[in-house]
Structure formats: C-alpha cells, structure tokens
Structure 1
Amino acid sequence: MITEHLPLSNHRGLILGVANEHSIAWGCARVLAARGAQLVLSCLNEKAQAVVTPLAESIQAPLHICNVEHPGDLEHLVHQAVNQLGGLDFVVHSIAWAPKTDLLGRVVDSSAEGFNEAMRVSCHSFAELARLVEPHLPQGGALVTMTYIGADDAIPHYGLMGPVKAALESLVRYMALELGPKNIRVHAVSPGPLPTRAASGLPQFDQLMSRMASEAPLGRLVTLDEVGGCVAFLVGPDASGMTGQTLYVDAGVHAVR
C-alpha cells in the first residue's frame, strides 16, 4: 500500500485494547491505518488473540498480548512496539474493566478490592503507560484514552465505572500539565454508547443505546469510524495546539443533557 501522501504516513502508534471487530480500539486502528499510520496492537489474552490476529494482519500490524495487571506486561509491550516501529508518535489507550459483582451492583456497595482493581486497570494504567512511552517521544506526541459521559452525569446502571472514568478524565488534565513542556499532548475521547463486548456487560444496555439515540441532536448513535476519525485528528498535526481535553463523539448528547 502506498502511504506517502496520506495524512498520518509519518506517524507510528501503539493501540491497546483490541478485542474484536466491534471494539473501539479496532475502530481506531482501522481508521489510523487507512490514513497511513504504522501500528502495533495489543489484546488481553490468547483467547482474544485468536480473534484479533486476522484483524491485525489485515492492516499489517504486529499484535501482542498485554494484561496490565500482570507485572512486566506493559513494559514488554512498549519495548516491543518501539523496536518494531523504530519509535512512537502516539498511543491509544482503550482498556477498561471492573469485577462483575462490583460493576453490576450499587456504587455504595462496591468492595474496596473491586474499586481498586477497576481503577488500576481503567485509569492508573494510562499513567503507567505514559511514564513508559515518555522517553520514546523525544519530539513530542499524543496520548489518547477513552472515557464516557457517565464520568460527568450519573447514568443508570453505569455504576462503578462512572467514578473511575471521572478519575481518568482528571488524570488526563494532570498528565497534560506535566507532559506539556515536552510537547506531549494528552486527551480523552468520549464516544456515545457502542455495542462493544465490554459495554454488553452493563445491565439494560440496549435500552441505554435507544435512549441516547433518541436524545441526540443528530438523532442517532455514532460509529466506530467516527470515533476513529476523532482520534486520527488528535494524534495528527492539525491538533498540535490542543491538549488536556475531553472530546465528545456522541451525536451531541453531551450538549443537551
């Protein structure tokens, strides 16, 4: 594939959290690759690897297993990505998880262990990732993570992930402050509800999607390609003057709630 004329042809990126063809991470990878970016992808485990390998091969991207709860996995992933790409220009962090019992219950009933685990996987791993890639971004770059409107509004059945995503959005602002002098830009993208495997674990998720579509000024849900397009903008040169923001790709729901 000839990529010299494409807008991201000189950009190298690491994308964490590809689970299947419906995952936000894959939507980002597909759009970024189409715009010329060279990529390395990660998935959670061997079960996911069997599903994701054909996707990664379709965009000629190396694929690695990374479970951020396993000591050394994140360090190994960054090392492999840097070696395979010759450096990095951006990272997309699209991983989130909470124990099912804590996720399905009330926030006030959540266990300390479950809360801490959700925070570790969904929030602190982004800070850890930033620390690991910082030395490999000598000319600057972009770090992007995924959030949800439940960080700001109390969304029925979103539960424990609401406070966790609120912490993640705050983390983005502090990381932007700390990494800005090195020209490393940090953002969160807040998509509307999408039928991903992770979201399917939330109670009454189908009803949530229907309600959000009816509330949206555009009268619909968004697509993976639209989320990927926003990420492509953020990691590219046209967003060079932006950092520390949460950008909504939700058909306008955030503006009318």
Structure 2
Amino acid sequence: MSEPSPVEELATYLRHLKNKTGRSYDALAKRFGVGKSTLHRYCSGDSVPPRFTLLEQFAKECQASQAEIIELHQRWVRAHTFHEARFNTEQPVEPPTGRATSPHAPPPPLPKTPPSAKGSREYLPVLRKGRTWWTLAGMAVLILGGVLIWRPGTEFMADAESTHACSDRGGVEHVDARQGGVVWTRDFVCANRPDTPLYLDVDSTEKIAILDTPKSWFVCWEPGGEGRAWYYTRGDRSEPGKESWEGWGFTPADHVTAPTHPVPNMPRCSGSR
C-alpha cells in the first residue's frame, strides 16, 4: 500500500478536527464566508487552501489546542508545497484592470486553471525549465521553516528573466475587508523577505500581520518618510489581537525585492480606493 500524500494527510487531519465538533460542513463554512463545497474539498483532499489563514480560523472554530494548530500548520506547509510543485505550466494572465472595484460589480474573468485546481489558489506558480534549482531551494526553505519556526509555505513564481522582477497580473480577485469589501482585480507578485511584517499604516510601528511566503502579491503603494515606498497586501496570519484587520496592512520597500521602488506601473493606494 502506498503512503498517503501530504495533501491526503492534511485532509485527514481536517476531518479529525471537524468530527470533534459534530457540526456540518455548511455550518462551519458559513463562519468563514466560504462555500460548503469549498470547505468539503479541503477536507476531502481535492484542494489545498492557498493561505493558512482560513485553516487557522477553522481550527479555532473546532476548538483546537495550540499544539493541534501547530500540527495543522505543519501539515499545510507540506501539502501546499506538494500541491504547488505539481503544476509546471505557465497560465495565461488577463490584461490588468487598474484599480479596486465595488464588491457588488461583476468580477472580471479569472485566469483559466486546471479543473482539479479551480478555486484552490489565488495565483498559480510558474515553474519553467532551467529554474528547477530555484524551485527546489525554495521548497527546502519552506519545509525547514514549517518545522522549526511555524511558518506557512509559499505561493512562489519563478520569473523567466530574473527572480528579482515583479509580475504584473490582471484578472485576480482579492476581497479587501479593511476597505469595506472592495475587490482588487490587479496585483504585482514580488519576492519578499521571510517573516515580512505588515503594519497598520505607512510609517506605523503597529504590527498587523506577517507575510510568510518568499513571494507575495501587492496591490498598491504609498510614499512614507524619507522617500521610502510602502506596499499594501494581505498577510498570511494576523498578529494576536489584530484579527479584525484580516491581515491587510503595509510593509516598507526594504522587505520587498524589486528592480526599482516603487514597483513600475503599480498604482498609488490613495488613487485606487
């Protein structure tokens, strides 16, 4: 008998947590604003959440202990790395739309994805020939991070020309609870330092969340003191007591790798809200 995959191991643990509550998929899904079918896919191993935030909320709703949350997180790291590594083709990207839109407006068409991955990712990794060394190194760092310091894995995208370049993507959909539910339909995927902090506002020292991924998406920028750019995104996990922001915050350009700052063509936040 073959060993279960990391995705199956994650699904088994999710079912274990759910079964302790005696609650239905529908009842639990309503707590997080996701569909019952989406939660069922995670618990059946058909899909892996692109970020750990939802699973952390799920575990807390199931009254999981801190040790169980840590175990869940480590399983998510392994499953997410395994799941993302299976995709090795570049996906088409819709032309950028420019700024945030109302949540009541029809969302723009999303990039086509394989049926097995639909709804499981916020964006797709691009693993090209000749970049295998970068991918393997990234996976090694992820696994080490997940075991030793409880950090989620990555949604990484190897760039064909340079790992320092940022990818401008349209046709995405990021719901911004901090801005009253507006939907960002354009983002920029850039490399960033591990454990990148997100702050309440530009030049603030009040930490809101943490970015665990070595590549992340950013939707806009604002200038700060000393001419430094600050980038706006959603973190992978909130700081204790800051859950109401749902991870949305700013990080200084020092933590983001790009050829120039601000990132070319990225809009100002003040002109996009």
**TM surpasses 0.5:** no
Q: Which has the larger radius of gyration?
A: 2
TM-score by length of 2: 0.27
Structure with the larger helix share:
1
Structure with the larger strand share:
2
TM-score by length of 1: 0.28
